[in-house]
Amino acid sequence: MSRILIIGLDGASPHLVRRWQDDLPNLRRLMAEGTAGTLWSVVPPRSIPAWYCFVTGMNPAKLGVFGFSQRRPGTYDYTFANFSFCQAPPFWEWLNRRGIPTGILHVPGTFPPRLVDGFLVSGWPAPLNRGNLVYTHPPELSREIDRFLGRPFEFISPKGIERDNEAEMLPERLRILQMHGDVAEHLLRARPWQVALVVLAPLDRASHQFWKHMDPSHPQHDPERAQAFGDALRQVYRASDEQVGRLLETLEVGDWVFVVSDHGFGPTHRTFYLNEWLREQGYLVLQDGGSAGPVGWHTRLIGRLAAPLFWLNQASPTFRRLMDPFKKRALSNFLRDEYVRAKERGLVRLNHLPVDWSRTRAYCPDESSLYLNLRGRDPQGIVEPGAEAARLLDEIEAGLRAVRCLDTSEPVSVQVYRKEAIYSGPFLSEAPEMLIAMDDYRTDVMAELGFGALFDTRPVRSANHTPEGLFIARGPGIPAGRAMNAGLMDIAPTVLHLAGAPVPEEADGRLLLDLFEEGSEPRRRPIQHEPAALAQEAEEAYTEEELAQVEKQLRDLGYLG
């Protein structure tokens, strides 16, 4: 039976693949021998929930996950999404029920690892692996991978995106890419599988940082620095193509291969701080005496004093053991809040600030997401669902469309998505009331307070996610050299059908029968459907220390300020 290999290139842009295809021989060959086009992402085009939508074929309201941040029940506090929060089974669980072994590697959001018939290596976000973390199924595979590498496996570089640290970060992106490619090739050759999914993520990180250097039209393009780093992003594309080639060598004639990305990329010209605007307009209110903005001397002092404690916590097992009883106490939380405020120049999210929920009508807990403080859903909700909520959303939308850009004085184009128009499912009530994009994604919509202005015209990240992902498919029955577009949620139903498994009745993605030639076996085969169990018990997978590690990963990539 033919095998199926899915290669995910997180953040790969189809227009850059076409532009640089002469440097990408493996992707160029796949496009020539198969069908290629755009894979349209979900709204919003963020890695979480996008990869969950990809592996289930379902929209976020059927999964219960809408972003990296996940509300703790009955509170306004947030933790970070983990695999247990995804309330629908991924496609490999459907395959495993039919006795089809699978190999799943580096898929974002798959920590903690679930049981699998085959093998699974979790993807980021995840705690630091100090040589004792179980990040795989079967569990003993974790130490096998560490021994194979000769060091603990890393999900992501421990170094973050900063202004002007490109010389340090380019080799880091290539190092992690090589490590993940080494693990993937080793396991695909060493262990049995019938369907495999491998995600390589460094293209996403590199695009965030290096875009401005290869784009002369970018507001932050510096010709002098472009001399040094204008080819950096292209280098990571070339290295990713080399890893694709290694994975293709594990296949045999007659196997199917898909190459996909969860979203594309485009330039970021500025950042819009939605909570700053909500506070300015009176929709978001801080408690009397509460402040957000440039940090004072006391916060800077406490931040500096706390920094060695956080360093020791990272570096010393003995210190972690001694401090563990104190990590949930008020003093610890105070030090953490002040440390974050000092480190991020006052930019913090709502769970670090004294919000007056009795007067707050709308708030943004995660990038591009707007929630109303609804009575009956939110702990201290004051907005009545129904007509009052609808009028308030109309008012907020009209206000956002009147926002003028600081650097151009022109109105910023705003794309607003109401949840009822894009989502459906049992968790719709938990979704943001409104998803917001600006200037065709050239303006980031972020959740932090404290910048002191609505716009930052020199954001550290020079590019961000766009909806246009990459789609390539090659194998028996797939025409060569044809152009075709698809949706992110279409791949799971299609792979299930190819492997002879039923498609979930609840799937939002369509089975891509038109991908295959008339008369081909996939077109002739009867389609099976079965209902999915859309619930499992969500649980907090991280300790307080591990939450801090995950928060650092997200901050390092600019997803938290």
Given this model, what pLDDT does residue 325 score?
62
pLDDT score at 543: 75
Q: Is the peptide bond before 44 cis (omega within 30 degrees of 0)?
A: yes
CA-CA distance, 294 to 172, in Å (whole number)? 32
What's the pLDDT score for residue 70?
A: 86
Task: Quote the Cα angle for 190-194-200, to 5°.
Answer: 70
52 vs 290, higher pLDDT: 52
pLDDT at 330: 46
Confidence label for 340 from pLDDT (cuts 50, 70 and 90):
low
The per-residue pLDDT for range 168-223, each reduced to its tens digit, is: 999 999 999 999 999 999 999 999 999 999 999 999 999 999 999 999 999 999 99
Same fold, 4-267+464-544 and 269-293+359-458: no
Range 4-267+464-544 has CATH code 3.40.630.10: no
For residue 309, name the pLDDT band (cuts at 50, 70, 90).
Answer: low
- Tens of pLDDT along 250-273? 999 999 999 999 999 999 999 999
pLDDT of residue 384: 98
3 state DSSP class of 375: strand
Q: What is the pLDDT of residue 333?
A: 53
User: How open is the CA angle 151-152-158, to the nearest 5 degrees?
Assistant: 110
Question: What pLDDT score was predicted for residue 415?
Answer: 96
pLDDT of residue 32: 98
Q: Give dist(CA 91, CA 35) in Å, integer.
A: 22
Nearest-angstrom CA–CA distance, 448 and 344 = 10
Residue 109 structure tokens: 């959001």
> To which H or E segment does residue 444 belong?
strand 443-446
Q: What percentage of the chain exceeds 90 in pLDDT? A: 78
- Residue 469 phi/psi, 5-degree rounding, is -95, 180
Please tell me the class of the 269-293+359-458 domain: alpha beta
Give yes or no for residue 235 having a pLDDT over 70.
yes
Helices (H), 215-296: 223-229, 232-248, 274-280
- Domain positions in the chain are 4-267+464-544, 269-293+359-458, 295-344
Residue 498, amino acid:
L
pLDDT exceeds cutoff 70 at 310: no
Mean pLDDT of the chain: 90
Tell me which of 325 and 226 has the higher pLDDT.
Answer: 226
pLDDT at site 341 = 47
pLDDT digits (tens, 9 = 90+) for 2-17: 999 999 999 999 999 9
- Rounded average pLDDT over 236-241: 98
3-state secondary structure of 140: coil
pLDDT at position 542: 74
pLDDT, position 328: 52
Nearest to 47 by CA among 199, 182, 273: 199
State mean pLDDT over 51-62. 98
